[in-house]
Structure 1
């Protein structure tokens, strides 16, 4: 699109996009309000970055961030302790990760409103890593994984991490959630978690039947409050996790019962675990490093994308976010903390609580550090059963029913379920591998799938419509459908193909020849592309001549088009694939009426498609098309264009009138040669142009001069003059180079400037 969309802009045209029925083939009208995000932090100077953001905040902004940071801090404390306990790590490691995630990742983050810390999604991986390498070795692996993340960010691979199928990612999180819930329910019931999800599931009936004492009461109270509190109290200042843990702690203290509680070092700073390189084969260490780096990166980036949808501020810079997460993990691992990721629970709470800048995330980390150093005794009153109950609820919430319904509608549920079951039954890498394999198989099945429909629109006439990908594996089904047709009939075959391979082409060609020899008549037409024609011309290996997303109009290209049937085929294609998708938009326009911002005056030349070259849709452009994009002056005898101008300004209230000429204009060539019969209708019409050419041999200059003259003719109309004088209307000239498919702006001095660079 050219120019900035909006009222008063010389090139204001609503943005729209033409896509294909398979996901990129339908018209979808949208406006983008994405902002540019800041670049990388030069040199990653942490203290300079922190001072810059804190000094640049207004008092009003800081007030919002301060309140939000306190809310996030209250949520982070119980979650960090619970995740550390579920991972089998020292509880202090969870708090270290929370502090580092808040301060380091918050200061460097490419997603300013995202809050980082220890995440439930890495619990299973960390637990297995601790069993294999010990906690000191795990801390070293976390630090190295942070370096890998920094490398991914520096090499600008942030968006590549999002290439993983969302069904696999969410299936992985669902599997992790089930593993966490199955292990922590044993703690809630007063027992100890087993080494695998299967063992936890196997021993669960016995654990339920056993005697549990007060632990079950505290866990049940915590779970009940986690579920009920958000329905009773809407304020974010009293998060459910905090209320549930505080209530369980108060009950345990009031009853004076002896239950397992949080155990923190008396001197936290002196008890930091030093990262130590594990004594294990390098291959095993490398696998652990890459696993933590990739899972942490994907989880952080998915969280950043989700947070973007919650606010209208700057969009996330995913490469910079990877660098921030990597720096946080390098610091956290070095200090003996858990892996850090962007956490959607804390991030969404941060946005909901009114955070405006990254200061909220940074301050929440500061509050955690202060609380641990000064109020550790308060944390040591919390029962472990309460933290385990929090993790049970968090784990089960990773199994999202809304996502399951979405994937069921989109036919991605098998991939989701295979990944979740694989992670739960085996391990994370195996489960993700199974999910990715399933996703690839489903993708190949869809790519190789075609739809064959046979109808009889008239006696002795059959219509066979084939859409999708026609490959050799569908040849059997294709030939069965074709041989079922009665002999000696007229058969119309419509191809709506994304791809045609040689095997399927030979099957279709051989049947056509055989059917014709027996007295039948076969006509093959192609919509969207010319695969069959290119195969006939031995050019099947060539790429697509026109992207499918440009819609049904592209079928006009190619030498094999049957012009007699092309229009009917195009109408059928529109009614079959596009009409159901645009009907709601058109119905709304019918109900509310048209309200375009732009009157677009252009040539009637068949090579110009206004909605295509402006990426606009229904309701966006009020168009006038004539030979030579001519606007007769107000005192001319013609009233057709004048009526359209008056209607556009007075009734529709357009804010822009654009005159768009183009290269190779036959009308301009006729004016240049001066050979048009002035007594003919065409000659009399061209005389309305009023254009004078300085150099009649320079075609581009003459086309540009014609545009500027029509703009001058526009100003002779009183309605135009009044609207321009009142600041309600802008006039602009455009020149479209047909061969280059590029638009230029035309200034009053007849100079052309590219709209986009």
Structure 2
């Protein structure tokens, strides 16, 4: 037992944990909820993957970073790269493929550290990184215009979808536009004040209250895509059957992007004691963070410019701040998950008699609130289980009854639901 405890102590940061680190982790945890969910959306998968990755990256990646204030979490660049690698993969396999891609990318990062490839990051010019980040920002902005304005846009890439929305103004949902624009204004305005640490939280809460208070059902909600989990996911190995040459290539691309961006974070956030960061050690930390994220059904993570800056602004002093950020996130999700379990249930539009609790647990023939026509739905594991109201195989079984089979419920006066 003493040997096990000794190994655990060896993994923990050697710096003394301070009260400032514990407090500094809270703003990062709050901001990571919308950031993590947005990363999942950017990658084209369930937002749950982003939340799981945010927890795993901060805790396990933060254990051994050489850049002490670096926060290892989801990033827009890695999310977009992962989403591009999954473009040709069927919806029902995307979650499993993303988890496998994350594991492979983490392995590549660890191998890069073993081969001591960190010294080559200094050859990446500042102009290249600037152009890369500008491209990522533009892709994000164009890609989110349809969701911002509540339009189901057509197009093969982000810019095409944005043009489709702007050329069809009659399809814009004004309620969605009001909610989205108000969130942007709040983020910008509060960012100029002393409340900037909580800007993302306020921008998330105020429009949410507005939607609920006014009953704007036309505004898309997170519950239309996935249910927020009530705790930490159970670790599990990725599905090896989804591994392919294309997935390996995508994982290599993600690894390179994460490592280069992490090197930029190390330059922008020097250690408080003046010690020099080790690129290879940061490679290892980010690799470990990705391996842990994959085992917890997460997505790629890396050194985040924005979250690291928030960590420094909040008063972080050691690696413990990033670790506490991940722990606070677990606490937050546990609390919000319990609160959502008592939300008002919704009726099934298919039969009118089933009720679906806010916790996402199924009653009757619905699984995980699968009733949004024309959209892919995800269960609590992040798997795509249906498009619209359809269900299929074990992926669509109700979590409240592991033995439940699709089609076991009969709407009043109708045929088996599963036979539609």
TM-score by length of 1: 0.41
CA drift at 1:50: 4.9
Gaps of 5+ in 1: 1-44, 382-757
The structure having more radius of gyration, on CA atoms, is 1
Q: How far apart, in 1, do the equivalents of 2:13 and 2:63 lie?
A: 10
From 198, 221, 230, the counterpart of 2:182: 221
3-state SS of paired residue (2:88): helix
- Given that residues 85 and 250 in structure 2 are in contact (C-alpha distance below 8 angstroms), is that contact kept between their aligned partners in structure 1? yes
Say whether residues 1:287 and 2:246 are aligned partners: no
- Given that residues 139 and 158 in structure 2 are in contact (C-alpha distance below 8 angstroms), is that contact kept between their aligned partners in structure 1? yes
- Given that residues 311 and 351 in structure 1 are in contact (C-alpha distance below 8 angstroms), is that contact kept between their aligned partners in structure 2? no
Residue number in structure 2 paired with 1:129: 85
Q: How far apart, in 2, do the equivalents of 1:270 and 1:359 lie?
A: 22
Equivalent positions of 1:33-52 (< 5 A) are 47-51=8-12
TM-score by length of 2: 0.72
Q: How far apart, in 2, do the equivalents of 1:266 and 1:285 lie?
A: 27
3-state SS of paired residue (1:357): coil
- Given that residues 13 and 64 in structure 2 are in contact (C-alpha distance below 8 angstroms), is that contact kept between their aligned partners in structure 1? no
Say whether residues 1:87 and 2:43 are aligned partners: yes
- Given that residues 104 and 248 in structure 2 are in contact (C-alpha distance below 8 angstroms), is that contact kept between their aligned partners in structure 1? no
Change in 2 beyond 3 A, CA 1:222/1:377: farther
Equivalent positions of 1:33-432 (< 5 A) are 47-51=8-12, 53=14, 57=16, 62-133=18-89, 134-192=94-152, 194-231=155-192, 233-236=193-196, 238-258=197-217, 259-262=219-222, 263-264=226-227, 275-279=238-242, 281-282=244-245, 284-308=246-270, 311-376=272-337
Q: How far apart, in 1, do the equivalents of 2:229 and 2:329 lie?
A: 16
Change in 2 beyond 3 A, CA 1:66/1:267: closer
3-state SS of paired residue (1:336): coil
Change in 2 beyond 3 A, CA 1:241/1:156: same
Q: How far apart, in 2, do the equivalents of 1:93 and 1:105 lie?
A: 17
What is the number of residues matched between the two proteins?
Answer: 328
3-state SS of paired residue (1:375): helix
Q: How far apart, in 1, do the equivalents of 2:32 and 2:95 lie?
A: 22
Q: How far apart, in 1, do the equivalents of 2:264 and 2:212 lie?
A: 40
- Given that residues 148 and 293 in structure 1 are in contact (C-alpha distance below 8 angstroms), is that contact kept between their aligned partners in structure 2? yes
> Quick check: which one's strand share is greater?
1
Q: How far apart, in 2, do the equivalents of 1:313 and 1:243 lie?
A: 35
Q: Deviations over 1:339-383 (max 9, x none)?
A: 0111011111111111111110000001112222332266799xx
CA drift at 1:314: 2.8
Change in 2 beyond 3 A, CA 1:70/1:270: closer
Q: Deviations over 1:269-310 (max 9, x none)?
A: 56878622354643x2331121011111111111121111x8
Q: How far apart, in 2, do the equivalents of 1:225 and 1:115 lie?
A: 25
Q: How far apart, in 2, do the equivalents of 1:118 and 1:48 lie?
A: 27
Which structure's relative contact order is higher, taking Cα pairs within 8 Å and 6+ residues apart? Answer: 2
3-state SS of paired residue (1:240): helix
CA drift at 1:153: 1.0
Q: How far apart, in 1, do the equivalents of 2:61 and 2:208 lie?
A: 31
Q: How far apart, in 1, do the equivalents of 2:340 and 2:116 lie?
A: 41
Equivalent positions of 1:688-699 (< 5 A) are none
Q: How far apart, in 1, do the equivalents of 2:128 and 2:7 lie?
A: 35
- Given that residues 136 and 273 in structure 1 are in contact (C-alpha distance below 8 angstroms), is that contact kept between their aligned partners in structure 2? no
CA drift at 1:120: 0.8
CA drift at 1:268: 5.6
Change in 2 beyond 3 A, CA 1:214/1:272: farther
Q: Deviations over 1:635-690 (max 9, x none)?
A: xxxxxxxxxxxxxxxxxxxxxxxxxxxxxxxxxxxxxxxxxxxxxxxxxxxxxxxx
Q: How far apart, in 2, do the equivalents of 1:268 and 1:213 lie?
A: 35
Change in 2 beyond 3 A, CA 1:249/1:165: same
CA drift at 1:47: 2.8
Q: How far apart, in 2, do the equivalents of 1:319 and 1:291 lie?
A: 18
Change in 2 beyond 3 A, CA 1:222/1:324: same
3-state SS of paired residue (2:70): coil
3-state SS of paired residue (1:241): helix
- Given that residues 123 and 180 in structure 1 are in contact (C-alpha distance below 8 angstroms), is that contact kept between their aligned partners in structure 2? no
Q: How far apart, in 1, do the equivalents of 2:143 and 2:235 lie?
A: 27
3-state SS of paired residue (2:82): helix
Equivalent positions of 1:449-488 (< 5 A) are none
3-state SS of paired residue (2:298): coil
Q: How far apart, in 1, do the equivalents of 2:66 and 2:235 lie?
A: 29
Change in 2 beyond 3 A, CA 1:255/1:146: same
CA drift at 1:159: 2.6
Change in 2 beyond 3 A, CA 1:260/1:358: same
Q: How far apart, in 2, do the equivalents of 1:273 and 1:169 lie?
A: 35
Q: How far apart, in 2, do the equivalents of 1:325 and 1:379 lie?
A: 32
